Amino acid sequence: MFAFSIPASAFSDSKEEEEPELLTESAIVVDKSSGLTLFEKNAEQEMYPASLTKMATAIYAIENADLDEKVTVSENARSVEGTRVYLEEGEEVSLEKLVQGLLINSGNDAGVAIAEHLSGSEESFAEDLNEYLEQEVGLEDTNFTNPHGLHDEDHVTTAADLAKLTRYALKDPDFKEYFGAEELDWKGESWETTILSHHRLLLEDKGLTITGGKTGYVEKSGNTLATSAKEDGMEVIVITLKSDSQDIAYSETEKLLDYTFDTIEAPDIPEMEAFSIKGKERAFFKSSSLLNMVN
């Protein structure tokens, strides 16, 4: 059993505000710059990510291929179920366009086309992706079986891993651009339109400085949401998993952003007290006695 003594400095100059109570099953808030976890609820619980998977597929493609490469769409990619960018069999599309369609319009067909182009099949891509996520990104509790997040019992991750993934990916300027894009003009063989981000807060930005986001939903995962936001020089990443509705996912993301930005300021981050338990860094949040993991 561990015994802890909390230094008085951990509470100095703190703002009194109760931590949010959430209906969402799993959630985490991470400071993008330092990696400090500022809030968590069941952050290491195994969960289904749905289309938040596509963040992993996107950054893997960006880092392991030339975005100018041409991809020939297969019948398998064209016929995948769920959200699509309506690719046609035999259509040639740049890898960059597929990554954009994957992140902005959540195209499952774009995900399959990327996977087949990079690894030959979805199954081989899943093996390559998992190795990359473990060795390059440092994820410990993630196993993906496909590039898009359609449900599979073995397709699992955690809020903590997804926050770490988002933080890693946002270091890449191309990913950051696509993750934060509100719209994209799309011209394909069967579809010509302006596609809009599915992330409601990115489009509405209700007084919050939302810098990017990705949505997800399948029945078993519930609503999943990844969001980045910036205020007064501090940028944070919020992951919410298994919300019962979109309204809950968005309102509780807003609640977490308000709580974080109201409670802590960027200059406070380096002053947090940190120590290690079982090899994982932890820190005292200055406005709370809770222990929060650093990823």
With beta carbons less than 8 A apart as the criterion, state whether 23 and 243 touch.
yes
- 51 assigned to active site: yes
H helix or E strand, kind and range, residue 200: helix 200-204
State the average pLDDT over residues 104-120: 98
Which tens digits make up the pLDDT trace of 182-216? 999 999 898 899 999 999 999 986 666 899 999 99
Cα angle 272-180-19, degrees, rounded to a multiple of 5: 35
H helix or E strand, kind and range, residue 114: helix 108-119
- 220 assigned to active site: no
Helix count and strand count (H, E) for the chain: 9, 12
How far is Cα 101 from Cα 92, in angstroms, rounded to an integer?
14
- Considering 26, 32, 51, 119, which one is annotated as catalytic? 51
Classified as helix, coil or strand, 227 is strand
CB neighbours of 259 closer than 8 A, spacing ≥ 6? Answer: 17, 19, 20, 39
Q: How confident is the model at residue 263 (pLDDT cuts 50, 70, 90)?
A: confident
With beta carbons less than 8 A apart as the criterion, state whether 241 and 222 touch.
yes
Which tokens sit at 223? 């609503």
Which tens digits make up the pLDDT trace of 67-86? 999 999 999 999 999 999 99
Which tens digits make up the pLDDT trace of 226-244? 999 999 889 999 999 999 9
Q: How much is the pLDDT for 61?
A: 98
- 106 assigned to active site: yes
State the average pLDDT over residues 115-143: 98
Is the pTM above the cut of 0.85? yes
How far is Cα 235 from Cα 154, in angstroms, rounded to an integer?
32
Which tokens sit at 284? 């005292």
The domain segmentation of the chain, as residue ranges, is 8-293
Neighbours of 232 (CB within 10 A): 9
- Considering 106, 119, 228, 288, which one is annotated as catalytic? 106
- Considering 26, 32, 41, 54, which one is annotated as catalytic? 54
Cα angle 215-196-253, degrees, rounded to a multiple of 5: 35
- CATH class for the domain made up of 8-293: alpha beta
Give 3-state DSSP helix, strand, coil % of the chain, rounded to 5.
35, 25, 40
CB neighbours of 171 closer than 8 A, spacing ≥ 6? Answer: none
What does DSSP assign to residue 36? Answer: B
Kind of pairing, strands 192-196 and 183-187? antiparallel
